[in-house]
Amino acid sequence: MRRNVLLVPILLADQLLTVLLICGLTTGETATLKCTFQGTKTDILDRKWIKVLPNNTDICLLSSNISHWYPCNKEEGGIQKLSAGENWHDGEISLSIQNLSASDAGIYRAEIEFTSSRGRSCTFHLLPSGHSTLIEENTQIKQAALGHTAQLKFPSRRNLASDLLHFKLFNALNTSLVQCGHDRACSSNPNSGAATRFLGRVTDSSIVVAINATKREDSGLYRFEMAYKTGLPTTGQVYLRVYKSQLQDKGSEEVRPTAIGKDLPGVKSSCSAKKQLGVSVIIPVVLVCLVTHLGIDDFLPS
């Protein structure tokens, strides 16, 4: 269908509010991460909010005993954008990040230490849109730059050269991606879209799955199963975050639906809006939204 781009703002002038509510707007917004816990105020020994860098280095952002929160790393850029709080009635601590930008995206973790019980931690994958995914406890976390190779390593205390029965890697939809047999040969599922990029390799003490030329849609949860000729099998899961590095062009790392990882549990669509923008930016935003939702072909001459 032939459409005239110049007429779009006029034709849709009365639908601006609807479009703004459909398409995600992130400029100037605030994201809030919330970690719930069971315990009392007097039982808390220490609380921290931490950011996990791509090289798996932890940077403490804010820390508190009971009375108040304070920066535990004043040299960390953007610390003035952060504020933490708590809701003792609901057993909750929170971290708010104001004026979201692409650099705020990443892995965040809350740590709560108690005086008389086991500590509690919550790990989140924050997207530039402000949406976040709560990652289950005891989940390995791996980060890889977009277009590079991600290495998912699954160690074992067994001698896999002689004791491996099979290994299987699944995505969040329980689709098999990679499997390795007792002969140490690995193969990818050709029907999963992973065949050309997901490659498995067995060593004596671990299985490594390489994801070549990573895409945004590779982000998400993966589950593995490792069965042995003797003894009980090993199961677990790993969460992969694919991000754009500073050397790459700027843009979002939003998770998009694909055959590999579509509809990942806990990942919300980027299409939501919390604030209205000024009139001066409404028309460009609407055009971007329309191209995103209708497709660029709808605006090109036939």
Domain that residue 285 falls in: 5-23+275-299
Strands (E), 65-162: 69-71, 82-87, 92-97, 106-114, 120-126, 132-135, 140-145, 150-155
Structure confidence by residue, pLDDT tens digits, 127-158: 988 899 999 998 999 999 999 999 999 999 99
Do 122 and 156 fall into the same domain? no
Work out the pLDDT band at 300, boundaries 50, 70, 90.
very low
Instruction: Write the Ramachandran bin of 272: left for phi over 0, alpha for psi from -120 to 50, otherwise beta.
Output: beta
Do 236 and 148 fall into the same domain? yes
Q: What is the pLDDT of residue 75?
A: 62
Domain assignment present for residue 266? The answer is no
Do 128 and 147 fall into the same domain? no
Work out the pLDDT band at 41, boundaries 50, 70, 90.
confident
Do 107 and 81 fall into the same domain? yes
Distance CA 189, CA 20 (A): 40
How many percent of the chain have pLDDT more than 70? 70
Do 281 and 235 fall into the same domain? no
Distance CA 188, CA 172 (A): 16
Do 76 and 156 fall into the same domain? no
Whether the model pTM is above 0.75: no
Contact criterion met (CB below 8 Å) for 62 and 51: no
Do 89 and 162 fall into the same domain? no
Cβ atoms < 10 Å from Cβ of 128: 23
Averaged pLDDT for residues 245-265:
48
Contacts of residues 177-182 at CB distance under 8 Å and 24 or more positions apart, as own/partner, are 177/209, 177/222, 177/260, 178/209, 180/207, 182/229
Q: What is the pLDDT of residue 80?
A: 82
Work out the pLDDT band at 188, boundaries 50, 70, 90.
very high
Domain assignment present for residue 269? The answer is no
Do 295 and 207 fall into the same domain? no
Distance CA 157, CA 206 (A): 8
Distance CA 96, CA 61 (A): 12
Q: What is the pLDDT of residue 219?
A: 94
Structural domains of the chain, count:
3
